[in-house]
Structure 1
Amino acid sequence: MKATKRILSALIASAMLLSLTACGGSKAPAAASSAAPSASGKAPVETVTLKLATEMATGTPEVKATEMFAQNVFDKTGGEVKIEIYADGQLGEPATAIESTQLGNIDIVILPASDFKSYDSIFGIEAIPFLYADNDSVSKVLNDSGAAETQKKILADNGLIQLNEARNYFRGPYRVLASREPIREISDLQGLRFRAFDNKNYITAYETLGANPLVIPYSEVYMALQNGTVDAATCTISALKGENYTEICKYVTYINEYVSTVFVLAGEKTYNKLSEENQKILKECADQLGRDVSALTDESLQANIDAMKADGVEFIEIDTTPAREALKDFYYALEADGTLPAGTCDTVLAQ
């Protein structure tokens, strides 16, 4: 029954795409293929247009890097592959976008690894609050345990081809909590209503710390803050200004709650229609996308922080050690049930 609902949801998203095209909206996709001049000018090239879905907001470093990715693909394929970007979660929340990509209604989807937890608990390795010290800690666990290869195979078994094989796309570089009232220590999380994504381990961790996480789609967070449904929301520091949360929340706490790697995935149906050469180019450009995200994030970060401070936003540093201590039993329970590879807790908690 649940599978039927997910398929129906994906079909609805497909119908929305058709509606966008019919209405002639500014972001309606181009035709599936069209003629474009070849580099030599001797003969037209058949251009295939691919729809790319991302939940990130237009203007953020991630979407700007995605625009560079699209241009790189177009240039390197000699105009044979054009990518149409749908940002701001236009094509549905993660579960819907994933289903649509499997069906071929979306061609490429960009989402964090934690959004695939329904496939296997191994995708929940990263989104565990306060466990890891930094990106390198996560990369070490993914690679040394073989989890990265296992995830890739599981995705392929579900009709999703991993394009960014380097796994160098990190969302961040760190995470913050934007709130109406200041959060100056972990105990201030007690009773806090904040936006959470649909992840059991993430929610359980915060409930253990006394918070009140509420699951809200990413595209609806600003509205939830505006109408008071929640009083705080977490996000990456790089996305904070673009999401405009600080128009409502004048306190930002550096919590660095978890590290998030991001997948760039093509639907198997779409991928198999491309030539081997263009498949290779997609993968090369996807790895470049990870590097571009990091560069653009670093470039804009301090300027954005300074601009928010000028608008009256207070940035707060917090000691998260008490959270790690309070969650130790929870961490080891995740290792015991197989969510975390054996030995993970001893390794990362010692850092």
Structure 2
Amino acid sequence: MLLKKIGIAAAALSLSLSLVGCGAKEKASGSDSGKAEKAVTLKLGHIAGEDDPWNLGAKKFAELVNEKTNGSVKIDVYASSTLGNDRDLIEGMQLGSVDFALVAGVLSNFYEPYSILELPYLFRDREHMEKVLYGEVGEQLKADLLTNAQVRGLQFWERTPRQLTANKKVTKPSDLDGIKIRVPEIPASIAAWKAMGATPTPMAFSEVYSSLQTGVIDAQENPLALIESSKLNEVQKYLINTNHVYGYVMLTMSDATYSKLSKKQQKAVEEAAKEATEYENKIVYEQEKELLKKVKDAGMEVIDIDTKPFMEKAKAVQKEFANKSDADKKLYDSIVKTK
């Protein structure tokens, strides 16, 4: 009888310890309370300068994440290609060595249909771009990026239109003959500038200033904020308002990093991304007139042109890229049909 009682007691004790052990294991492996207690410091990189709206938006995002997680998630922001160029940043997110990045067209090297977004004169205007990026098409683009590249698209941020800068006056496509223009490592950009008459030279943005300075290239194209913050006025004479791409930059996150955060931290990151988007977008357009004045005061001559001849040349490339695959065609048609 005594042995029986001892056996029952031992069994009860064993069950109790087992339950405690399960609880401890559960907390360590996945409960929000366990993860929320662990403070982490994450890295966010981008290629723009300290004064660029990208950097201001990134710092705001970091500030908001810190507030919303009560300090459990800290984000250090690295500007000016400190963590590498666009491709380096994306590969870093895939490996988990970079946690966040602001990247744009080079995403097409990791999920090809993103090249459609880089086609010159694809978006009719800013309103058209916003309806695409902040609607169903944008949500699908983020989902496809996650599936195909293991990179999580948090939010699209706006940029002012891409403009051409050169050391020669350009007012018509024939003026581009013989001009070596730096373009991002994006097939759509390369093909479009070739169609418009230039000699496109793909290279990382970190190499652009020195390449312009030494004459390796004659021209480049980017939004005004990046032109000014990178001091390209020091090595370029003319700013030509081609308005050829209404563009974006995407606030992205390593899916490996995301999966290590608690649900509360994940929610905080997503909420902070939305708020930072509103902040960055507002700055972009508020600064445009001021930036234009800065480059003029710095000695750049600003030239307004008739964009229709450039548009006609570039549009020949659109169908070529739209028909590369079913996914490309579906995306292209969705964008064109968005009203």
TM range (shorter): 0.7 to 0.9
| 1:304 aligns with one of 291, 300, 310 | 291
SS of the equivalent of 2:270 reads helix
| 1:295 aligns with one of 268, 273, 282 | 282
Partner of 1:31: none
The AA in structure 1 aligned to 2:158 is F
The AA in structure 2 aligned to 1:135 is R
Counterparts of 1:37-52 in structure 2, within 5 Å, are 46-52=38-44
The AA in structure 1 aligned to 2:322 is E
Given that residues 180 and 251 in structure 1 are in contact (C-alpha distance below 8 angstroms), is that contact kept between their aligned partners in structure 2?
A: yes
Structure-2 separation of matches of 1:286 and 1:152: 14
Q: Does 2:118 match 1:130?
A: no
Structure-1 separation of matches of 2:134 and 2:55: 27
SS of the equivalent of 1:272 reads helix
Q: Does 2:178 match 1:191?
A: yes
Partner of 1:260: 247
**CA-atom RMSD in angstroms:** 2.3
The structural deviation recorded for 1:261 is 2.3
Partner of 1:111: 103
SS of the equivalent of 2:98 reads coil
Structure-1 separation of matches of 2:95 and 2:87: 13
SS of the equivalent of 1:282 reads helix
Q: Does 2:86 match 1:94?
A: yes
Counterparts of 1:140-155 in structure 2, within 5 Å, are 140-141=131-132, 147-155=137-145
The structural deviation recorded for 1:142 is 5.4
Mark the structure with the bigger radius of gyration.
2
Using a 3 Å threshold, how does the CA distance of structure 1 residues 245 and 82 change in structure 2: closer, same or farther?
same
The structural deviation recorded for 1:70 is 0.9
Q: Does 2:74 match 1:74?
A: no
Given that residues 115 and 187 in structure 2 are in contact (C-alpha distance below 8 angstroms), is that contact kept between their aligned partners in structure 1?
A: no
Partner of 1:209: 196
Runs of at least 5 residues in structure 2 that lack an aligned partner in the other structure: 1-36
The structural deviation recorded for 1:151 is 2.4
CA deviations 1:251-295 (Å, max 9, x no partner) are: 101111112222212212211121111111111111222211122
SS of the equivalent of 1:198 reads coil
SS of the equivalent of 1:207 reads helix
Structure-1 separation of matches of 2:161 and 2:315: 22
Partner of 1:271: 258
The structural deviation recorded for 1:139 is 4.1
The structural deviation recorded for 1:197 is 0.8
The structural deviation recorded for 1:118 is 2.6
Partner of 2:313: 326
Q: How many residues align?
A: 300
Partner of 2:158: 170
Percentage of identical aligned residues: 28
Q: Does 2:167 match 1:180?
A: yes
Structure-1 separation of matches of 2:92 and 2:285: 33
The normalised TM-score by structure 1 is 0.79
The structural deviation recorded for 1:101 is 1.0
Using a 3 Å threshold, how does the CA distance of structure 1 residues 64 and 183 change in structure 2: closer, same or farther?
same
The normalised TM-score by structure 2 is 0.81
Given that residues 125 and 340 in structure 1 are in contact (C-alpha distance below 8 angstroms), is that contact kept between their aligned partners in structure 2?
A: no
SS of the equivalent of 1:285 reads helix
Using a 3 Å threshold, how does the CA distance of structure 1 residues 346 and 59 change in structure 2: closer, same or farther?
closer
Structure-2 separation of matches of 1:68 and 1:343: 35
The structural deviation recorded for 1:329 is 3.4
Larger mean CA deviation between 305-314 and 210-219 belongs to 305-314
Runs of at least 5 residues in structure 1 that lack an aligned partner in the other structure: 1-44
Partner of 2:231: 244
Structure-2 separation of matches of 1:269 and 1:336: 33
